[in-house]
Amino acid sequence: MAHRYTSDLTRDDVTPKSLFLNRRQIMAGAGGVLGAGLIGWAARAQDALEPNTLEEITTYNNYYEFGTGKSDPARNAHMLTTSPWSIEIDGMVDNPGTWSFEQVVEGMTMEERIYRFRCVEAWSMVIPWNGFELADLLARVGVQEGARYVAFETALRPEEMPGVRVPVLDWPYREGLRLDEAMHPLTLLATGLYGEDLPNQNGAPIRLVVPWKYGFKSIKSIVRITLTDEEPPTSWNMSQPREYGFYSNVNPEVSHPRWSQASERVIGGGLFASRQPTLMFNGYEDEVASLYEGMDLAEFF
């Protein structure tokens, strides 16, 4: 498995799946392909987070299409049919059309990315995703000159998604990125966790992962990708524009109107979960700060 972009988190920041491979087996089997990358990650890991188990990652979720409680997605998402699955890719692209999931992933360089995950609700995890760079898909479909944004849309299936029967948001769920954000090497289309297929409650069969932004930007169960020259509407910004901006970069200096973002609760600590200071851009400042040079990061939250 090739690693083309590294994180400063190591495998020691992630609890192995109990019935999968233990940490020593993974390290021993990595060989020359992973060895250099893992050594580099270890050298950079200055602020290791508490580990997260597969159970924590898959049972503590926000996926309002299946209910607003943290345990609702794990309880209800089994109703979602994920095969067959298709994604409509349209707008300012050279090769628009409806792509099956198999066509989307065919030939892509699949990687493991160990990323921090920071929710706007001020809790965090560390998650080992499997997937490929969004930039690779955009290159395949051919981005036309003048395109500036990428819009995404989640499946809307009231018969399979009990949460959409309640008008919590204006369904379907929508999100968007600037084109340069979408093309950044950290931006991932995830298809798995811990080397296995993505669970339904985590956004199966394919979701976006943008690790320097609050988690709601990482839209789940994608059925449409549109290239456009205009900033697309996004669900939480449409619902509460004062509280949720289009950019929604992790910024500990800009509070949510109802709570501080200066620290976060680390999932995995039980009733006495620890808190830690929130890092600018969720710890990816060196990689992404240049995207926002000259912008007022308080105004463009």
User: Could you tell me the pTM of the whole model?
Assistant: 0.87
Neighbouring C-beta atoms of residue 259, cutoff 10 Å: 10
Question: In this predicted structure, what is the pLDDT of residue 271?
Answer: 62
Per-residue pLDDT of the chain (301 residues; tens, 9 = 90+): 334 444 555 545 444 444 333 432 333 333 333 333 332 333 233 345 556 999 999 999 999 999 999 999 999 999 999 999 999 999 999 999 999 999 999 999 999 999 999 999 999 999 999 999 999 999 999 999 999 999 999 999 999 999 999 999 999 999 999 999 999 999 999 999 999 999 999 999 999 999 999 999 999 999 999 999 999 999 999 999 999 999 999 999 999 999 999 999 999 866 666 789 999 999 999 999 999 999 999 887 8
Q: Does domain 11-292 have CATH number 3.90.420.10?
A: yes
Domain boundaries, the chain: 11-292
